[in-house]
Structures are given as structure tokens and as C-alpha cells.
């Protein structure tokens, strides 16, 4: 059972193994892409600032619930990659990347906080673990992760990249399930609100994201479908999220 959501989830892969794998994949990603320095880039400085506030809020949230153990092994890192892609993701252990192409869609810090809260919620709610576990059963016959990594390193890495929405050589990305999306939205709103960002910004943000789709929808939109159901559920949950909100001054 998931400690955060109370939902039963397939979780065959040890979180500590996933965190280890995440650290390696994150390092590789950072060397292979153009990462902006927050000392010289305003965008990167913004991502760092909003990220730190969200990470703080999440730590506070877990402490208040007596569930500190869920963040075991988390060492937060926020990086900004110079790329037109509209995307952001969080790997197990709190390794986050924001693509500069996302920033014209978020437009303000509150919306950026909402995306970060959402992506981090996928990670702490162990949605990636759930997907990775399903993939290990379906495609690796339930092999243990360390065995799979030793015997089929490339395939295992591809499954990992797909499970966390990073994109992989396998091409097509899996969309998150409706339930995973709803959970990520709800916890994302709580985390943003606790960090002092107005959760109501989520509504115009997801509408802008939807409009950014056009003829060539970004990967992020194909894995996070934005539709009437999402907007309706966000509205339903808003009164609860607002209980956590104290504006920053
Ligand atoms: Zn999502």
C-alpha cells in the first residue's frame, strides 16, 4: 500500500535500487544536455528558487503526517536544461529537470510550482515504481532489477526512462494513468499551496498547456493529457488545496 495515497500499488522494485539507478541516469543526462547555470541564467535561478520552496513544503508535509520515511534517500537537485521542449520530470530521490521550453507556458512562478509539485508527486507517490514494476513483469518476466541491469542493461535503462517520462530510444511514451494524474494533481496543489503559491493558477496553466498542443503536441501533453476531466477534478479539489495556502509576501 502506498503510504501517501493509501492506494494499493504494484511495487516490486526496491525504491533504493531505483534511486541508485536515477542518480546514474541523472548524471548522464546532465553531461549530455546543455544545463544552465543559476548564477548567470535568470531562468535557472527561478527554477532553483521555486524548487527549493517546493522541496521544503514537501518535507514539511511529510513531517506533519509522520511519514518522513517516505522521503528516505531524497537529496533534492533542480536543474534547468536549455531546450525548446515543453517538459519537466522528477526521478526517484528528488532529481528534477525543467526544460526552458516549459517556461513560456508556465509564465509565472506559481504555475512553475504547480508543475514541479505535480512531477515530484509522481515520484514520491511512487508512480514511476508502479510503472517500472509493471514493465519488469511484462517485459523481463519479473526479473529483479539488479539482475536485469546486469543481463540486459540497455533494455532495462530504456524501461526506466519510459517509466519516468524522460523519453527513450523506444520512442512512444506511456501516458500516466488517470488515477496517477489525479493523485499527482492533488498532491501537487497541496505542495504548491504550502510553498506559498496560489493553487488556483493550475486552472489557467493547464488551459495554456492544452492550447500549446496544436498540431504537434509536446511529449509532456501526450503523457499528461489535459482535458475537461482534469479541469473538473482540479476545481473539485481546490477548496481542500486552499486550506494549505498562505500567500507569500
Ligand atoms: Zn502527470
- How does pLDDT run across 195-222, given as a tens digit for each residue? 999 999 999 999 998 888 766 667 777 7
The pLDDT value given to residue 47: 98
The pLDDT value given to residue 106: 96
Compute CA distances 85 → 27, 118, 134, whole Å: 20, 18, 28
Residue 231: closest CA among 195, 197, 200, 190: 200
> 144 CA to middle of ligand 1, Å?
26
The pLDDT value given to residue 169: 54
Q: Using the predicted structure, report yes or no on whether residue 175 has a pLDDT greater than 80.
A: no
The Cα 118–Cα 191 span in angstroms is 9
The model's pTM is 0.89
> 28 CA to middle of ligand 1, Å?
23
> 65 CA to middle of ligand 1, Å?
23
The pLDDT value given to residue 156: 84
Instruction: Determine the straight-line distance between the first and last CA of the chain, rounded to whole angstroms.
Output: 39
Exposed, middle or buried by CB within 10 Å (0-12, 13-18, 19+), for 114? buried
> 151 CA to middle of ligand 1, Å?
31
The pLDDT value given to residue 58: 95
- Out of 119, 130, 181, 201, which one is annotated catalytic? 119
Within the chain, strands assigned E span 77-81, 88-91, 95-99
The Cα 37–Cα 41 span in angstroms is 6
> 185 CA to middle of ligand 1, Å?
7
> 27 CA to middle of ligand 1, Å?
23
Q: Which residue in the block uniquely carries the three cell numbers 527554477?
A: 47
The pLDDT value given to residue 39: 95
Percentage of the chain modeled with pLDDT above 70: 90
Report residue 247's pLDDT band, with 50, 70 and 90 as the boundaries: confident
Q: Across residues 212-234, what is the average pLDDT?
A: 78
State yes or no: is 119 an active-site residue: yes
The Cα 21–Cα 145 span in angstroms is 10
> 87 CA to middle of ligand 1, Å?
11
- How does pLDDT run across 48-90, given as a tens digit for each residue? 999 999 999 999 999 998 888 889 999 999 999 999 989 999 9
Q: Across residues 144-154, what is the average pLDDT?
A: 85
Amino acid at each position: 500500500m502506498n503510504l501517501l495515497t493509501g492506494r494499493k500499488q504494484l511495487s516490486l522494485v526496491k525504491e533504493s535500487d531505483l534511486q541508485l539507478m536515477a542518480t546514474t541516469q541523472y548524471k548522464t543526462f546532465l553531461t549530455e544536455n546543455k544545463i544552465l547555470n543559476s548564477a548567470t541564467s535568470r531562468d535557472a535561478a527561478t527554477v532553483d528558487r521555486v524548487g527549493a520552496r517546493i522541496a521544503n513544503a514537501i518535507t514539511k508535509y511529510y513531517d506533519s503526517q509522520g511519514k518522513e520515511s517516505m522521503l528516505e534517500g531524497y537529496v533534492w537537485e533542480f536543474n534547468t536544461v536549455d531546450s525548446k521542449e515543453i517538459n519537466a520530470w522528477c526521478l526517484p530521490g528528488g532529481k528534477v529537470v525543467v526544460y526552458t521550453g516549459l517556461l513560456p507556458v508556465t509564465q509565472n512562478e506559481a504555475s512553475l510550482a504547480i508543475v514541479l509539485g505535480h512531477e515530484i508527486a509522481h515520484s514520491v507517490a511512487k508512480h514511476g515504481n508502479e510503472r517500472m514494476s509493471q514493465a519488469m513483469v511484462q517485459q523481463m518476466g519479473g526479473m529483479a532489477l539488479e539482475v536485469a541491469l546486469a543481463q540486459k542493461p540497455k533494455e532495462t535503462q530504456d524501461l526506466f526512462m519510459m517509466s519516468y517520462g524522460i523519453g527513450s530510444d523506444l520512442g512512444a511514451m506511456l501516458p500516466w494513468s488517470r488515477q496517477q494524474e489525479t493523485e499527482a494533481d492533488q498532491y501537487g496543489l497541496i505542495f504548491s499551496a504550502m510553498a506559498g503559491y496560489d493553487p488556483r493558477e493550475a486552472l489557467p496553466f493547464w488551459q495554456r498547456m492544452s492550447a500549446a498542443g496544436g498540431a504537434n503536441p509536446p511529449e509532456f501533453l501526450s503523457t499528461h493529457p489535459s482535458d475537461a476531466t482534469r479541469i473538473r477534478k482540479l476545481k473539485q479539489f481546490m477548496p481542500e488545496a486552499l486550506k494549505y495556502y498562505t500567500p507569500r509576501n
